[in-house]
Amino acid sequence: MIEVSDGIRVKGMKLWLDARRRKQVSFISHAHADHIRSHGEIIASERTVRFLRHRGIRGTITPLAFHQPMEVEGGRITLFPSGHILGAAQIMIDTESGEKVVYTGDLRVVGGETAERVQIKKCDILIIEATYGDPRYVFPDRDEVVAQFISFVEGCFDRDLAPLLFAYPLGKAQEAMKILFRRGYIPLVHHSIAEIAALYEDLGVDLGGYMTFCPGEKCLPGSVLIFPPGARGEAAAVTKKRTAVLTGWALDKDIKYRLGVDEAIPLSDHADYTELVGYILVSQPKKVYTTHGSPKLASILRSRGIEALHLEGAFVKGGGEHF
């Protein structure tokens, strides 16, 4: 039923799902780097198309509104939100054989202030991203994570240090900006983050206010710096600071040493183990395929009598949540 070859597709269909090598036609679930490639033709949600263009993807891209069915060769497809980042879409495929197949792309069930709210649909076959598909990855409650985040910021100010956060520039950074602004802080962001923030605002997401960081300029009191992980060189030039990374991988105790930061805060744009299991229980599939993460979730599902298989090789190893 499912074919894996540098991507995933329903056997007999032309349409690939987040193919990682060039295909004739592929759905792109969202605009994170490990999901985007140039293809002969791309189908993506309307908002994702804006981010794809911003990220330099050219060629034929068909924007498809959420909940608007479209006939393709071998079936009918419908997109609906995955809650991961703005524009991130799941795809429902109604196959010619009458089965409903859902591919989630990257997924978040709980939280998220700058993405569309996730929807869960009943299906026969579920292909689910399981980056945190292991019982040891259960995130604290969202309020607790935000409290930890704010306590880090306050702790920096108490010691007269500048708080500097590392966050992926598409999605995570905008969420951090909104959380900070709501609580009276000024997000002072790297230009790559500011560019995407402007797109978010253009797409109707209110981030509050923010400023763009200019190297050498003095930071205003109450400013919280946000840099992408790739701008460590520029971040190193900021003196008298304390750093934190925002990622679900914060649950790994050694992550701050591995990443060379002072603190790791589990603000994630992915579903944790509990959310994944909850999703599966609601969607009631006859068969589950897991991608990303470890094969653990598939093996736990099998032990509970649910037919499940982990798909190796569908995506780049080390994909999943970025920090």
- Site map (CB under 5 A) of Zn ion, residues 103-142, x = contact: ---x------------------------------------
CA–CA distance from 307 to each of 87, 103, 130, 168 (Å)?
30, 16, 16, 35
Would you call 109 exposed, middle or buried from its count of C-beta atoms within 10 A (0-12, 13-18, 19+)?
buried
Residue 32 sits in the site that holds Zn ion (CB under 5 A)? yes
Give the interface segment with Zn ion, choosing from 31-39, 44-52, 123-131, 188-196 (CB under 5 A).
Answer: 31-39
Which of 188/226 has CB closer to Zn ion? 226
Helix axes of 172-182 and 142-158: crossing angle, nearest 10 degrees: 70
Q: What's the min distance (Å) between Cβ of 305 and Zn ion?
A: 31
Which tokens sit at 218?
């003095």
99: nearest Cα among 124, 76, 74: 124
Q: What's the min distance (Å) between Cβ of 84 and Zn ion?
A: 6
Number of residues that bind Zn ion (CB under 5 A): 2
CA–CA distance from 191 to each of 175, 195, 213, 214 (Å)?
16, 6, 7, 8
Q: What's the min distance (Å) between Cβ of 308 and Zn ion?
A: 22
Q: What's the min distance (Å) between Cβ of 106 and Zn ion?
A: 4
Give the interface segment with Zn ion, choosing from 100-108, 176-184, 225-233, 309-317 (CB under 5 A).
Answer: 100-108
Q: What's the min distance (Å) between Cβ of 105 and Zn ion?
A: 8
Distance between CA atoms of 182 and 114, rounded to whole angstroms? 13
- Contacting positions for Zn ion (CB under 5 A): 32, 106
